[in-house]
């Protein structure tokens, strides 16, 4: 197969987004719009992509980061229409054939683009093919006009439609084309901006090519053409993309219940279960046979195999080892390292803390800047006092240590292996291995005192009554 270039049009102003961010950089499912069109082009067999932009640096940076040298950009300034943008792009194309698509149509599928290209190779095929869709409501799209023999003769824009018969045409132009580079280049120099918008229309090349050669219309799925012009369409496109992503995981052996939001980058192993209303974002990886219950939110994190995440667990930039159990309502802030088989329960917050293999903190705790030894048990209400108002300090707990409920460990502090901190202790000195730290005030029992106390309170209450 001879080499193939894609020209991707992304220089439009995007004013309807009402945003400081260029339109094609608005994300859906965790990636900028433009990413999807470029990726689809490569998956369809394109060797190089030329993106026509308004010259925005952020777009160049994104493309370089995600696709490296396989993509280059060319600036169209000012934007004078899709035909002008395509001309600017095609000037740089060095291959015999070219695919043209728009940067704002993220739902385009690689296999449909590939069909568009292979349509050029069919016996008796023409020099240009375009993707079309049949819509119940074609309003707003360019209409594909055909002659009596069914050959494509022209694409006419909504604003330039004349007869009621033209208005009634339901076959629309999806804005994706494949053709011989020379033929398109020549046609693009011939188009004129004599239409209602005074713009150069890329669609005018259809009629020019159709005069001397054949133009093939390739029918595609209606959802593939959805172009994002405003935030309503952004939301619509994202819904469709999220549905596709859920389906992709389901096909790979993941049980996906209801409608979790799973970003495009997320990886999930076989036999894992993702419940409804879960949000998985960024570079998140979930292992095999892991259960993520309702309401969990996970960002940029690695979750191992056989992990149980109970409802409403929130995890940011952290790692969770195999067979660990978290939640409900556990909060891992960045740089938490939860090792295999560790358990963290309700309202336990960690940050920059390692919880070693098999350690437990099952209820109500703040564990910041710590290192908790293997099998250690941290009781309810424990607080690592890691901040003195100026600096953060470390709390280190040895293996098999026991921290009684409602203890405060004032960092920097080290609790030895197998040591025992009695409930309610404020620990300010290091505790040696196997020692007991007991820091409470000694308890006194006054025998028979309770009835006296009750009588005194009753008297006060009676005196207050009018
Ligand atoms: C275009 C087609 C229409 C088709 C529809 C499908 C034309 C004239 N019309 O209309 O037939 O049904 O797509 O979605 O082509 N762009 C530039 N420079 C410009 C203008 C636009 O790079 O000067 C880029 C935009 O960033 C966008 C793409 O071209 O990615 C399409 O432009 P847009 O204005 O959205 O075209 P439509 O009106 O949607
Ligand atoms: Ca558009």
pLDDT at 49: 98
The reported pTM is 0.91
pLDDT digit string (tens) for the chain, length 466 residues: 469 999 999 998 889 999 999 999 999 999 999 999 999 999 999 999 999 999 999 999 999 999 999 999 999 999 999 999 999 999 999 999 999 999 999 999 999 999 999 999 988 788 999 999 999 999 999 999 999 999 999 999 999 998 999 999 999 999 999 999 999 999 999 999 988 889 999 999 999 999 999 999 999 999 888 989 999 999 999 999 999 999 999 999 999 999 999 999 999 999 999 999 999 999 999 999 999 999 999 999 999 999 999 999 999 999 999 999 999 999 999 999 999 999 999 999 999 999 999 999 999 999 999 999 999 999 999 999 999 999 999 999 999 999 999 999 999 999 999 999 999 999 999 999 999 999 988 889 999 999 999 999 999 999 998 8
For residue 142, the ligand 1 atom closest to its alpha carbon is: 11
Considering every ligand atom, which ligand is closest to the CA of 226? 1
Place of tokens 């710590």: 370
- For ligand 1, atom 37, which residue shows the shortest CA distance? 141
pLDDT at 2: 61
For residue 81, the ligand 1 atom closest to its alpha carbon is: 23
Q: Shortest CA distance to 291 belongs to which of 314, 272, 318?
A: 272
Residue 11 CA, ligand 2 centroid: distance in Å: 11
Probe residue for ligand 1, chosen from 102, 144, 152 as the CB with the greatest number of ligand atoms within 8 Å:
102
Considering every ligand atom, which ligand is closest to the CA of 173? 1
Distance, CA of 437 to CA of 439 (rounded, Å)? 6
Distance, CA of 220 to CA of 132 (rounded, Å)? 6
- For ligand 1, atom 34, which residue shows the shortest CA distance? 12
Pocket of ligand 1 (CB under 6 A): 9-12, 52, 76, 79-82, 84-85, 102-104, 141-142, 155, 157, 172-175, 201-203, 225, 227, 229
Residue 389 CA, ligand 2 centroid: distance in Å: 53
Probe residue for ligand 1, chosen from 82, 84, 195, 198 as the CB with the greatest number of ligand atoms within 8 Å:
82
For residue 174, the ligand 1 atom closest to its alpha carbon is: 6
Residue 81 CA, ligand 1 centroid: distance in Å: 7
Considering every ligand atom, which ligand is closest to the CA of 155? 1
Considering every ligand atom, which ligand is closest to the CA of 37? 1
Distance, CA of 285 to CA of 305 (rounded, Å)? 10
Is 249 known to be catalytic? no
Residue 384 CA, ligand 2 centroid: distance in Å: 54
pLDDT at 393: 98
Residue 149 CA, ligand 2 centroid: distance in Å: 30
Q: Which residues contact 351 (CB under 8 A, 6 or more apart)?
A: 332, 333, 334, 335, 336, 367, 368, 369
DSSP for residue 165? H
Place of tokens 């405060």: 408
Please identify which of the residues 56, 221, 363, 393 carries the catalytic annotation: 363
Strand order of the β-sheet with 354-355 is 267-268, 285-286, 302-303, 319-320, 337-338, 354-355, 370-372, 395-397, 413-415
Q: Which helix (H) or strand (E) holds 65?
A: helix 57-67
């Amino acid at each position: 197969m001879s080499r193939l270039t894609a020209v991707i049009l992304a220089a439009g102003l995007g004013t309807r987004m009402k945003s400081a961010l260029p339109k094609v950089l608005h994300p859906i499912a965790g990636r900028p719009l433009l990413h999807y069109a470029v990726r689809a082009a490569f998956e369809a067999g394109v060797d190089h992509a030329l993106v026509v932009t308004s010259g925005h640096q952020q777009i160049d940076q994104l493309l370089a980061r995600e696709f490296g040298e396989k993509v280059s950009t060319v600036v169209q300034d000012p934007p004078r229409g899709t035909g002008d943008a395509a001309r600017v792009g095609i000037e740089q194309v060095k291959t015999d054939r070219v695919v043209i698509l728009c940067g704002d149509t993220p739902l385009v599928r690689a296999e449909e683009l590939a069909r568009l290209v292979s349509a050029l190779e069919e016996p008796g095929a023409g020099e240009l093919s375009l993707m079309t869709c049949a819509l119940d409501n074609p309003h707003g799209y360019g209409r594909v006009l055909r002659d009596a023999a069914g050959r494509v003769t022209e694409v006419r824009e909504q604003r330039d439609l004349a007869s009621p018969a033209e208005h009634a045409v339901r076959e629309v132009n999806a804005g994706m084309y494949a053709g011989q580079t020379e033929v398109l280049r020549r046609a693009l120099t011939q188009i004129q901006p004599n239409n209602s918008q005074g713009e150069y229309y890329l669609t005018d090349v259809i009629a020019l090519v159709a005069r001397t050669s054949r133009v093939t219309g390739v029918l595609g799925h209606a959802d593939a053409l959805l172009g994002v012009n405003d935030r309503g369409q952004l939301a619509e496109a994202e819904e469709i993309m999220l549905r596709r992503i859920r389906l992709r995981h389901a096909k790979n052996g993941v049980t996906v219940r209801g409608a979790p939001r799973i970003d495009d980058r997320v990886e999930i192993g076989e036999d894992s279960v993702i419940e409804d209303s879960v949000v998985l974002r960024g570079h998140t990886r979930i292992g095999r046979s892991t259960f993520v219950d309702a309401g969990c939110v996970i960002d940029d994190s690695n979750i191992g195999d056989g992990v149980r995440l109970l409802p409403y667990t929130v995890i940011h930039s952290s790692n969770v080892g195999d067979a660990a159990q978290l939640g409900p309502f556990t909060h891992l802030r960045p740089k938490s390292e939860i090792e295999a088989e560790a358990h963290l329960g309700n309202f336990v917050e960690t940050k920059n803390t390692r919880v070693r293999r098999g350690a437990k903190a099952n209820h109500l705790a703040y564990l910041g800047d710590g290192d908790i030894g293997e099998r250690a048990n941290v009781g309810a209400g424990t607080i690592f006092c890691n901040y003195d108002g100026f600096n953060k300090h470390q709390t280190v707990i040895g293996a098999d240590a026991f921290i009684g409920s409602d203890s405060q460990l004032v960092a920097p502090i080290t609790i030895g292996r197998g040591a025992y901190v009695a409930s309610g202790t404020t620990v300010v000195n290091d505790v040696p291995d196997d020692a007991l730290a007991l820091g409470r005030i000694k308890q006194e029992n006054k025998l028979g005192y309770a009835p006296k106390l009750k009588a005194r309170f009753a008297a006060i209450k009676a005196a207050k009554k009018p």
